[in-house]
Amino acid sequence: MCYAQRHEYFLVAQSGSSVSIHRFDLSGANAHRTSALSLLLGKHNQGVRRVAVRLFCFLKGEGFRVPEQNQPTVVAFQGVHGAYSEEACRQHFGEGVQTLPCNAFDELFRAVESRQATFGMQPVENSLAGTVATAYELLMEYDLRVQAEVIVQVRHALLAPKGTTLSDVRYVRSHPQALAQCERYLKRRGFQAVTHFDTAGSARDLAASPEPHTACIASALAGRLYALEQLEYGIEDEPFNFTRFFVIGIGDPPPAKRNKTSVVFAVRDKPGALHECLGAFAERGVNLTKIESRPRRNKPWQYFFYTDFEGHASEPNVEAALMDLMRRAALLKLLGSYPAAEQPRQPEPKD
């Protein structure tokens, strides 16, 4: 793999009400990095009775990770083959992309961190079910960056073993969320819902062990992979059913024509702290597209704020907003600046 070894660090030193930010490059050997950091820490501890020092290394990473020539791109996803996450992999990287199924989200992150996979395809929110909370906790925990966002329309298919007709079906198995998203369809058809641990897993298991009068709900991709008959397609109750994914990887992707940036920050314990932090964006005309609070695991009743906004961290107004946010926030981590996905058009409502 090829990596650009460049790190920019930001030291935020606070003494009383005075806050200063210092940018420095630690691109050399570890000894040089340690020496530079020691000098900075020493400088700000001399003659200061109590100094709060915070080190940020979030605005610049290792550089975009590019597979070497003839080395395939491997994309990790959670689930089994045929999952909607694998559909997202194919939509973004092409039908021929090599995928790596993982049992859990943290396994996906470890696969990318260990370079077993080039990228990971992590769902972060669904337009109906809301945020995937675990995704943001892992983004906070791991030192990986968002490389791109991918938006996939969720279209459910009714699948059954070859030779099964629609009139044969009495039972339909799938993940509880997929069953809930097709509840009106199932009632209209008179099918009995049977819960299964996974949508694509229900297709795989039904293909391996067919049961009479039984079908499943999964993706059309799962139907093709497991050679199941597609009895009906687009059976979801709500047509505006989209899942947003983050492509995660090592380093930072180059700026695109349209960019988004995602950060997480925590506020100080004082009145107006959140208003003050958000002012860093408003004062520079940076448009927020999402803000959501999540509990801090180690500090009860304190919260992280996960925020998306338009623009790239390298743009002057965005960089200025982030530098100002550093001064105002108790903690800041840049999750990534990345190419923004095209927003889906509103589908026609179903009768």
Indicate the SS3 state at residue 181. Answer: helix
Instruction: Count Cα neighbours of 322 within 13 Å in the Cβ-side half-sphere.
Output: 30
Answer yes or no: are the C-beta atoms of 22 and 40 closer than 8 Å: yes
245 is known as an active-site residue: yes
User: How far are the Cα atoms of 65, 157, 198 from residue 182, in angstroms, in the given order?
Assistant: 40, 10, 15
Euclidean distance between CA atoms 77 and 84, whole angstroms: 9
Note if 243 is an active site residue: yes
| Catalytic residue from among 99, 199, 243, 307 | 243
- State how far the alpha carbon of 91 is from the alpha carbons of 66, 97, 121, 151, 178, in Å: 19, 10, 11, 9, 21
Computed over its alpha carbons, how large is the radius of gyration of the chain? 24
Bridge partners, 195 (sequence order): 174
Q: Which of 10, 109, 245, 309 is catalytic?
A: 245
Per DSSP, 61 falls in state -
* Catalytic positions, written as ranges: 243, 245
